[in-house]
Amino acid sequence: MAGAIRVKQLFLCPSILANETTLLRCRGNVNVIARDISSSESTKRKKKKEIELGRAAAEAVVKKEKRRTRSSREYELAGDGESPSSHVPVMLGEVVDVLSSIRLRSFVDCTLGAAGHSYAIIENHPELRHFIGMDVDPVAHKLAHVHLHSVLHPSLKSSIVRKNFKCIRSVIADTDPEMLDIGVDGILMDLGMSSMQVNNPERGFSVLEEGPLDMRMDPQASLKAEDIVNSWPESELGRVLRDYSEESNWYSLQNKIIKARLSGGLHSTGELVDLIRSMSPGNRGGRQGWIKTATRVFQGLRIAVNDELKTLQQSIYASFEVLAPGGRLAVISFHSLEDRIVKQTFLDILGFQREEKNPEEPRKHVEEELSDKDFGANESWIKQTVRSSNGIILTKRPITPSEEEERQNRRSRSAKLRVIQKS
């Protein structure tokens, strides 16, 4: 009843009505102003947070760059001995430097590829008497033979074998048993994918080219990426995506792949890439967003197909075992999983076992101060070392490519070179 009287008063008294209208307008304006202020403050907070995140990211990059042992060597492309394939050997000059100061009577290239590194090493070491090149890829064998033909000489006993580098001991025994007694002076592992593999769609390594889901380094091997995607248990598929691909969205991706099995599965690189693209929002990273995800997934599948991480660890132990006193093993890795294994296996070889509480961190070890007595003047690439009675890690921090090499060869950007020398 009071409400009805109030409405009647408004209609009977225009001044009251005007005052009420003005009051409502003021209240509305106040609310709008309040919303604007709130929105403005929210925008300011958001911008402030973005600035802080940007500053933190920039500081992280600077900090990482300071910690990085970047090569200071002048970058030079391969000259007359350049590989007949489109593959450019990564950190070629740095690898030559690693072996330049030792008397290299024997050398084993565990991942021969198109023989870009081997060509340069043979050319720079006329004293070399025994050379072994290993690779499971038949295409690499053909290219390596062509590439090395001009640099091989009668006094150099050479063998190119189609074997996995975990078999290094048996390969040496079959090729030259005396070398096992004397030991090998230099061994190289370049773990990167070669251009001749990535650029061939039929091998199934490329994210951007249509091809079968293969990914075998050795075409004679039985396991393919297609088998993992379509047949492996759900938990094992998830492990590959989580641990080998290091994909944050692995669980959703795993479920998508399992669901795809109900409609026939995935049998080509294009089908797998389309599935990944369908999960990548268009407003998150754009084209680069799904390409990065697909690259990680392809990496994980490739590692699983070729059992790369276990093979790498076995190969490092086997290679160090066949080194001669003073001999050096150099390993170039291209992603964090590989580099972590190289680092930890080197430390394990020297006797620095990992702590049980935190298996990622090795026990504290002695960092040696360098002196002219230890290394020659031409080994300026050696900055910090780790020693034990078994040997010396010559790269406490890995050597990374020069800025010029990164500009000239984009595939070198993630490369890390670590070197260990046997006592």
Within a domain: 169: yes
Q: Do 219 and 171 share a structural domain?
A: no
186, 313: one domain: yes
- Domain carrying residue 34: 2-52
* pLDDT for 360: 53
Q: How many domains does the chain have?
A: 3
The CATH number of residue 242's host domain is 1.10.150.170
Residues 12 and 5: their CA atoms lie apart, in Å, by 10
User: For residue 331, what are the β-bridge partners?
Assistant: 189, 418
Residue 121 lies inside a defined structural domain of this protein: yes
The DSSP output letter for 14 is: H
The reply to whether 382 and 314 lie within a common domain is yes
Distance, in Å, from the CA atom of 356 to the CA atom of 340, rounded to the nearest integer, reads: 17
**40: in domain:** yes
* 410 located within any domain: yes
The answer on 184 and 258 residing in a single domain is no
Q: State pLDDT tens for residues 297-352.
A: 999 999 999 999 999 999 999 999 999 999 999 999 999 999 999 999 999 999 99
Would you say residue 64 has pLDDT above 60?
no
pLDDT digit string, tens, across residues 211-254 = 999 999 999 999 999 999 999 999 999 999 999 999 999 999 99
90-to-68, 116, 156 alpha-carbon distances in Å: 17, 9, 25
Q: 409 in a domain, yes or no?
A: yes
How many other β-carbons are positioned within 10 Å of the β-carbon of residue 212? 15
Reading the block at residue 380, the tokens are 């300026």
Do 242 and 334 share a structural domain?
A: no
Q: Are residues 267 and 244 in the same domain?
A: yes
In a domain, 65, yes or no: no
Classify residue 419 by burial, with Cβ atoms within 10 Å: 0-12, 13-18, 19+.
buried
**Entry pTM:** 0.81
Indicate if 177 and 314 belong to the same structural domain.
yes
